[in-house]
Amino acid sequence: MTDLSVANNTQSMAFDVQAIRRDFPILHQEINGKPLVYLDNGASAQKPQAVLDAMDRYYREMHSNVHRGAHTLGDRATAAFEGSRETVREFLNAPSTREIIWTRGTTEAINLVANGLAPRLKAGDEILVSHMEHHANIVPWQMVAERTGARVVPIQVTPQGELDLDSFNSLLNERTRVLAITHVSNVLGTVNPIAPLIEQAKKQGVLTLVDGAQAVPHFQPDVQALGCDFYVFSSHKLFGPTGIGVLYGRAELLEEMPPYQGGGEMIERVSFERTTWNVLPYKFEAGTPAIAEAVGLGAAIDYLNSLDRKAMEAAENALLRQANELVETVPGMEIIGTAKQKVPVMSFKIAGLHPSDIGTLLDQQGIAIRTGHHCAMPLMDFYGVPGTARASFAFYNTLEEVEKLFTGLQKIQRLFA
Amino acid sequence: MTASKEQFLNNPLGKDTTLEDVLDAFEFLDDWEERYAYIIDLGKQLPGFPDDERVEENYVHGCQSQVWLIHRYDEDSGKLFLLIDSDAMIVRGLAAIILVALNAKTPRELLATDIDELFEQLDLFRHISPTRGNGLRAMVGKIRDIAAAEAA
């Protein structure tokens, strides 16, 4: 008896979800008269108090423009801003802060790379993406393909929602120049086995970009172990502020790529005869950056580092397991995406119900999910659905909330019966 | 097959089911479950919609689900008749409420109807996300454009 309670205590010490929830002020409110159940973390995650405090403190105590020297506040702001860059470098295990570029988010980071690689592309070249990409990892490549005559070719996906490796093997060829692939699918939750794909691509001299937007909220990537040339993610999905994201790129490639935007900060010297570029990473950071947001992102990563990430992953897996077990309590419910390796993301459909009906009626019960095409129309076409309903969990969600989702779905079904 | 004159003229919404009916019913609906059950039921009154009318020119943009709208101006009565279709049940119900208010009216009557006031009376927007509110406004906007063109 005593032993058991000790064991339980140890477990809750390792990961006390109630204590963690107290770090997220927004979670403690009612929506439509019901306690908020926030299951739309894949679209954007909530922010811990530590992030709000860091940004507040930055504006109250140290705001000024960065890299302009001359006064103390400027030095403080620069130290905080560059400190966050170091935090991100460490988070990704990148070799150098020269290789960490601030962008507005994943989308801008991919646009920057696509644009920067355009000079390497010519008619007949192929850019390999997958059928499960977010539009942000399709459209920028299509735009560059349009300009250069290259082609965007999709790797097929299996009905379970895994990458079809045969398709990858048959499509990777001497015309392939770039492999741009998502680490984790935003719709299916599939964790792609990107390390071996990158290795194969590299052997053929193919450049590789990994879209990590949906991966980093759930686990920490190691860009050196992966061996990718570029890794991109957004702060707001990683419990940090909106408006900032990260591009990791190998220095050698970043040096070679032309600047993305022109303006202040990114230059070394400007004259009407000849303008030269600043060194990395500043060459790609034209204009005054999102300083407070960079500071906020650093605080978000510090916060995550203060948690037991192994215990966090276990807790997230428990949420997904619970959800999978409850599927049979809702007749006609079908999960879209049943890969072996998944983060806690559950896309589903229910026979006879439109995703937008499900979303509206869950909202009435205080439960926030995402419905629609999830910016992945090719994948919707593959599954032959107009859209899906998607519950995406974060480590601050509870098993009780998973149950509420299913009670809510049962209620909706009774309404339509 | 395109929609026949009868399909337009026999639409019960705004004819057999009146605005008073809906307003009366709403008064007795206390919680969200009853309210939405009623909206879903209203949606079931939408008449069938011809398959070949589900085309781009009849598509209502700005909704999360697919919505189509067609109309017929009846010379004899001088009234405008409307048919709406959607693949989402709640949208069908909301479309039915719009039809109850706007269907089978002369274009001038239609344009004189204050639909925002009706939505306020029904307390609809408070319970509908802004995204869906935009969809409703898109439907109403398209209907008003049609009425304005017919009235001109």
Q: What is the pLDDT of residues A206-230, one digit of tens each?
A: 999 999 999 999 999 999 999 999 9
Region A151-176: mean pLDDT is: 98
Q: Which of B13, B42, B63, B98 is catalytic?
A: B63
Give the model's pLDDT for residue A5.
41
Distance CA A156, CA A162 (A): 9
Region B140-151: mean pLDDT is: 93
* Amino acid letter, A143: M
- Confidence band of B130 (pLDDT split at 50, 70, 90): low
Distance CA B36, CA A23 (A): 35
Please answer yes or no on whether A356 and B65 come within 8 Å at the CB atom.
Answer: yes
Determine the residue of chain A that is closest to B35 in CA distance: A415
CA distances from A411 to A38, A358, A376, A388, B37 (A): 18, 10, 29, 19, 11
CA distance A356 to chain B (A): 7
Within 10 angstroms of residue A333's Cβ, the number of other Cβ atoms is 20
A103 touches chain B (CB under 8 A): no
- Confidence band of A11 (pLDDT split at 50, 70, 90): very low
Mean residue pLDDT of chain A comes to 95
Please answer yes or no on whether A32 and B127 come within 8 Å at the CB atom.
Answer: yes
Q: Which residues have CB under 8 Å from A377's CB, separation 6+? A: A135
CA distance A413 to chain B (A): 11
Within 10 angstroms of residue A302's Cβ, the number of other Cβ atoms is 17
Give the model's pLDDT for residue A2.
40
Region A323-348: mean pLDDT is: 97
Overall size of chain B counted in residues: 152
Planar angle of CA A264, A265, A271, nearest 5 degrees: 55
Please answer yes or no on whether A361 and B66 come within 8 Å at the CB atom.
Answer: no
- Confidence band of B129 (pLDDT split at 50, 70, 90): low
- Confidence band of A63 (pLDDT split at 50, 70, 90): very high
Please answer yes or no on whether B33 and A411 come within 8 Å at the CB atom.
Answer: yes
* Chain B residue numbers touching A30 (CB-CB < 8 A): none
How many Cβ pairs closer than 8 A exist between chain A and B? 44
Q: Which of A375, A394, A405, A412 is catalytic?
A: A375
- Confidence band of A190 (pLDDT split at 50, 70, 90): very high
The answer on pLDDT for A9 being more than 90 is no
CA distances from A78 to A102, A410, B148 (A): 14, 53, 59
- The minimal CB distance from B37 to the residues A365, A372, A415 is found for A415
Mutation site, B41, B68, B89, B136, interface A, largest A CB count within 10 A? B89
Q: What is the pLDDT of residues B42-64, one digit of tens each?
A: 999 999 999 999 999 999 987 77
Mutation site, A34, A357, A361, interface B, largest B CB count within 10 A? A357
Distance CA B94, CA B112 (A): 20
**B144: burial class by Cβ within 10 Å (0-12, 13-18, 19+)?**
middle
Listed range (A30-44, A117-131, A336-350, B132-146) with the worst mean pLDDT: B132-146
A351 touches chain B (CB under 8 A): no
* Chain B residue numbers touching A415 (CB-CB < 8 A): 33, 36-37, 40
- Contact assessment for residue A103 and residue A88, using Cβ atoms and an 8 Å cutoff: no
Pairing, β A30-31 against β B67-74:
unpaired
Tokens of A30: 């009612």
The answer on pLDDT for A198 being more than 80 is yes
Distance CA A63, CA A293 (A): 12
Give the model's pLDDT for residue A265.
86
Listed range (A342-351, A404-413, B53-62) with the worst mean pLDDT: B53-62
- Confidence band of A71 (pLDDT split at 50, 70, 90): very high
The answer on pLDDT for B28 being more than 90 is no
Distance CA A101, CA A97 (A): 8
Tokens of A262: 């022109």
Mutation site, A31, A349, A360, interface B, largest B CB count within 10 A? A360
A356 backbone dihedrals φ, ψ, rounded to 5°:
-65, -30
Region A267-291: mean pLDDT is: 94
- Confidence band of B127 (pLDDT split at 50, 70, 90): low
- Confidence band of B29 (pLDDT split at 50, 70, 90): confident
- Contact assessment for residue A57 and residue A386, using Cβ atoms and an 8 Å cutoff: no
Region A64-82: mean pLDDT is: 92
CA distances from A305 to A91, A269, A312, A395 (A): 9, 40, 11, 13
Give the model's pLDDT for residue B126.
60
Give the model's pLDDT for residue B137.
84
Region A94-118: mean pLDDT is: 98
Tokens of B146: 């049609």
- The minimal CB distance from B40 to the residues A356, A411, A415 is found for A415
A373 touches chain B (CB under 8 A): no
- Confidence band of A50 (pLDDT split at 50, 70, 90): very high
- Confidence band of A7 (pLDDT split at 50, 70, 90): very low
Determine the residue of chain A that is closest to B133 in CA distance: A360
Mutation site, B64, B68, B85, B124, interface A, largest A CB count within 10 A? B64
In chain B, the percentage of residues whose pLDDT exceeds 90 is: 52
Region A153-167: mean pLDDT is: 98
- Confidence band of A277 (pLDDT split at 50, 70, 90): very high
Mean residue pLDDT of chain B comes to 88
- Going from the N-terminus, what domains does chain A have, and what CATH number goes with each? 14-43+308-416 (3.90.1150.10), 51-305 (3.40.640.10)
Region A184-202: mean pLDDT is: 98
B64 touches chain A (CB under 8 A): yes
Range among A55-69, A105-119, B87-101 rated most confident: A105-119
Give the model's pLDDT for residue A311.
95
Partnered with residue A30 across adjacent β-strands are A35
Of chain B residues 1-30, which have a CB less than 8 A from chain A?
none
The answer on pLDDT for A13 being more than 70 is no
In chain A, the percentage of residues whose pLDDT exceeds 70 is: 97
- Return the half-sphere exposure (C-beta side, CA atoms, 13 A cut-off) of residue A248: 32
A34 touches chain B (CB under 8 A): no
Give the model's pLDDT for residue A12.
46
**B15: burial class by Cβ within 10 Å (0-12, 13-18, 19+)?**
middle
Helix (H, G, I), strand (E, B) or coil at A246: strand
DSSP 8-state symbol, A123: T
User: pTM higher than 0.90 for the full model?
Assistant: yes
CA A140 to centroid of chain Cα atoms: 17
Tokens of A364: 């009435």
| β-sheet with A100-103: strand ranges across | A100-103, A245-249, A230-234, A207-211, A176-182, A126-130, A151-155
Give the model's pLDDT for residue A1.
39
Listed range (A124-128, A300-304, B130-134) with the worst mean pLDDT: B130-134
- In the block, tokens 């680490």 appear at A183
Please answer yes or no on whether B33 and A415 come within 8 Å at the CB atom.
Answer: yes
- Going from the N-terminus, what domains does chain B have, and what CATH number goes with each? 5-151 (3.90.1010.10)
Determine the residue of chain B that is closest to A34 in CA distance: B32
- Contact assessment for residue A180 and residue A127, using Cβ atoms and an 8 Å cutoff: yes
Q: Give catalytic status of residue A375 as yes or no.
A: yes
CA distance A354 to chain B (A): 5
